Amino acid sequence: AQSVTQLDSQVPVFEEAPVELRCNYSSSVSVYLFWYVQYPNQGLQLLLKYLSGSTLVKGINGFEAEFNKSQTSFHLRKPSVHISDTAEYFCAVSDPSWGKLQFGAGTQVVVTP
């Protein structure tokens, strides 16, 4: 079984400032890792994913994440946020053999001018 912990429930950030959203996971097997974004009253949009290979993953909208196996982390970063980045961000893990996604509790990012 896997679990995902998002350490911050809410992250306030000023426009054009950097942001980091933390995600830690636990699993007894190799996993795939994902970050999704959810805008109000909408479904989830895939930001990026780590399957294998390079531990630094670049996604859409200027986001990137780094997989750290020793720390079992997959933190999401953006060097300069926009007002439009205000949303809920979910980290998720899946076991390749099962294909099910286990989501973290989510982190609400609020970008202010």
Partner 1 sequence: GAVVSQHPSWVICKSGTSVKIECRSLDFQATTMFWYRQFPKQSLMLMATSNEGSKATYEQGVEKDKFLINHASLTLSTLTVTSAHPEDSSFYICSAKRDRGEETQYFGPGTRLLVL
CA distance between the termini of the chain = 41
What burial letters (b/e) apply to 34-61, b meaning 16+ CB within 10 Å? bbbbeeeeeebeebbbbeeeeeebebee
Q: Which is nearer to partner 1, 22 or 49 (CB)?
A: 49
Q: Which is nearer to partner 1, 25 or 106 (CB)?
A: 106
Give bridge partners of residue 38 from the DSSP assignment: 44, 88
Cβ 71 to partner 1 shortest distance, Å: 22
Chain residues 13-72 in contact with partner 1, contact rule CB under 8 A: 32, 34, 36, 41-46, 49, 51
Q: Which is nearer to partner 1, 38 or 72 (CB)?
A: 38
Q: How far apart are CA 36 and CA 7, in angstroms?
A: 16
Cβ 64 to partner 1 shortest distance, Å: 18
Single-letter amino acid, residue 12: P
Instruction: List residues near partner 1 by CB under 8 A.
Output: 32, 34, 36, 41-46, 49, 51, 90, 94, 96, 99-101, 103-106
